[in-house]
Structure 1
Amino acid sequence: MHISRVDLNLFTVFEAIYTEGSVTRASQKLNLTQPAISHALGRLRQMFDDPLFVRQGHAMVSTPMARNMIEPVRRALRGLEVTLNGLHVFDPASTPKQFNIALRDVLEATILPPLMLRVRQAAPLVDIAASHVERRELEGELAAGTLDGAIDVLLPLSGDIMRTRIYQDSTVVVVRKGHPAIDGKLDLDTYMKQDHILASSRRRGPGLEDFELSRFGLERQIRLRCQHYFAACRVVSETDMLLTMPGRYARIANQQFDNQILPFPLEVPAFDVFLYWHANMDNDPANRWFREQVMESVRE
């Protein structure tokens, strides 16, 4: 089928129905009537000789063909949008826009304050929406354009995803001031004799520091597993347990606690934190401006 015989607007309708799971919500998203959406869906079904979406209760559930189509369609639509947007210069001072970025909660406290300070000064009509996205879904969301960027450690993503290192971080140990065994310095033997806290969003499995310890045949005693570093820092301030965590966030999370922040007692390499974006967005003026704000805010 030659592209000259295809109405490209149909694929915008297809993507909207797939994303919204509803003809009604798709019509609202595209500002079209429900009959217009239904007519477009009928043409798509005829074109591909497949129902594409099957009603189950109040939802439109995609068929296997629709699921195979969605990513190529999203990439094509996004590429066309970038091409059209590339014809214009993005003016942050006067253009309303929302940028969607994925980052884990431990990075929010380090990234968002300086980023929002820059954005509020330069672009009063720009909004930022930060969210947690599962790493296995990251590439698809960047390709679909539902994310403008992501910040995380080094991840095994395809060549379609571009990245740049924005900073390095180190591993530190948080200990309450007045700990009976630790005062200003911490060796490996003392570290291993203490009870530990592991902060992780996962219900089970070791932390990165446990992998490093295992290389030396060591296994620490984890007495508490919790979800957030801030809560763990408070527990540290009121007990003799130790918390191992990223250094940048440790300095922020412990500002209201009188905890000691000490180097991890093993020689471990610093870890890199990267900003990711899709190759289709590399030359997009708005996305390029947003990436610059992220990088400059981290440097400052």
Structure 2
Amino acid sequence: MSKPDLNLLLTLDVLLAEGNVARAAQRLQLSPSAMSRALARLRATTGDPLLVRAGRGLVPTPRALALREQVSQLLHDAQVVLSPADALDLAHLQQVFTLRVRDGFVENYGAALLAHIAQQAPRVRLRFIAKPDKDSTPLRDGSVDLELGVPGDSMGPEVRVQGLFRDRFVGVVRPGHPLCSDDITPARYAACGHVYISRRAQTRGAIDDTLDTLGLQRDIVTIVSDFSAALALVRATDLIATVPEHYTSALRRGLHTFTLPPQLATPPFSIAMCWHPRLDADPAQRWLRGCVRAVCGRE
């Protein structure tokens, strides 16, 4: 079956409104002969004469009268689809946004982000889900609106990434720990017990490689998968945790934080928000990203 020429809808709408080939042609900036040919195509397509002569004018057939309102609505709907989206009505926006985040984000930024959003769009709700890996499948399949964290190499090339702030690793111990006083050297750092954080159950990282070059090795007493667990252990033991400074600021409240020795300092890294390009132009999604930038952004 051949596909219908949808341009004929506009022609039919004007013909039915004018009831006159010459006037319809003038309105569409066509010649009368071109409009007559268009009417012939409409008659062949619909299987109905649509407009028939009555005296010096044309009158619509019953089929034409039945189509008039339907054609007008179809054209209106098409104009809506092909027009820019209406301005976002935040006061009445009802939507649930899903954010995929690592532990520490909600503790650090959740309350401020909820307050910022509630002030503008009180009916909007946020759903935070855990980010156990850097797989971008949830962004691609639409189950997640926005992902926050350190972008990974496994993230699809089409995913949009925008940096929020730069972060660095710092050491954390309980108040009164021996490392709370005096200069911290690589040897003093390595001599203490450590809690290591790894979502993939790894047993060492970049700091361990650097310690190797200095002839040192730290004692990793335990391995956990998230910052919250690591810092809970630090509060109750003499263990050291090495965590991102800004990302864990709320979790570290009441603990002693120290700068890593220069020999062990790793390059700063970016915390970013990531989204799928199909959400680029959506007004509600753009507003959500603006809210996250306002609350979390430091770059």
Normalized against structure 1, the TM-score is what?
Answer: 0.65
- Match of residue 238, structure 2, among 240, 243, 249: 240
Residue deviations 1:33-72 (CA, integer Å, cap 9, x gap): xxxxxxxxxxxxxxxxxxxxxxxxxxxxxxxxxxxxxxxx
Cα RMSD after superposing both structures: 2.7
Q: Distance in 1 between matches of 2:95 and 2:245?
A: 33
C-alpha spacing 1:88/1:212, structure 2 compared with 1 (3 Å): farther
1:150 maps to 147
Please show how residues 66-215 of structure 1 align to structure 2 within 5 Å: 87-135=85-133, 137-138=135-136, 140-156=137-153, 157-183=155-181, 185-214=183-212
Q: Does the Cα contact within 8 Å between 2:162 and 2:274 map onto a contact in 1?
A: yes
Q: CA deviation at 1:181?
A: 5.0
Higher gyration radius (CA)? 2
Q: Distance in 2 between matches of 1:206 and 1:292?
A: 37
Q: Does the Cα contact within 8 Å between 2:180 and 2:256 map onto a contact in 1?
A: no
Q: Distance in 2 between matches of 1:117 and 1:216?
A: 48
Q: Distance in 2 between matches of 1:181 and 1:155?
A: 33
Using the aligned pairs only, state the percent identity: 26
Q: Does the Cα contact within 8 Å between 1:92 and 1:123 map onto a contact in 2?
A: yes
Amino acid at match of 1:161: V
> Aligned pair count?
219
1:30 maps to none
C-alpha spacing 1:234/1:142, structure 2 compared with 1 (3 Å): closer
More helix by share: 1
C-alpha spacing 1:179/1:134, structure 2 compared with 1 (3 Å): closer
- Match of residue 275, structure 1, among 250, 273, 276: 273
Residue 263 of structure 1 pairs with residue 267 of structure 2? no
Q: CA deviation at 1:173?
A: 0.4
Q: Distance in 2 between matches of 1:143 and 1:86?
A: 24
Q: Does the Cα contact within 8 Å between 1:174 and 1:242 map onto a contact in 2?
A: yes
SS of alignment partner, residue 291 of structure 1: helix
Q: Distance in 2 between matches of 1:189 and 1:242?
A: 14
Residue 284 of structure 1 pairs with residue 282 of structure 2? yes
Unaligned runs of 5+ in 1: 6-82
Q: Distance in 1 between matches of 2:156 and 2:250?
A: 33
Q: CA deviation at 1:149?
A: 1.1
Residue deviations 1:85-109 (CA, integer Å, cap 9, x gap): 9523322221101111111113222
Q: Distance in 1 between matches of 2:294 and 2:273?
A: 12
Residue deviations 1:166-214 (CA, integer Å, cap 9, x gap): 0111111012222235416422111011111113333343245435545
Q: Distance in 1 between matches of 2:105 and 2:159?
A: 20
Q: Does the Cα contact within 8 Å between 2:194 and 2:218 map onto a contact in 1?
A: yes
Q: Distance in 1 between matches of 2:179 and 2:146?
A: 44
2:57 maps to none
SS of alignment partner, residue 161 of structure 2: strand
Q: Distance in 2 between matches of 1:227 and 1:210?
A: 18
C-alpha spacing 1:214/1:238, structure 2 compared with 1 (3 Å): same
Normalized against structure 2, the TM-score is what?
Answer: 0.65
Residue deviations 1:135-157 (CA, integer Å, cap 9, x gap): 4542x322222211111203223
C-alpha spacing 1:155/1:212, structure 2 compared with 1 (3 Å): farther
Q: Distance in 1 between matches of 2:114 and 2:271?
A: 19
Unaligned runs of 5+ in 2: 5-80
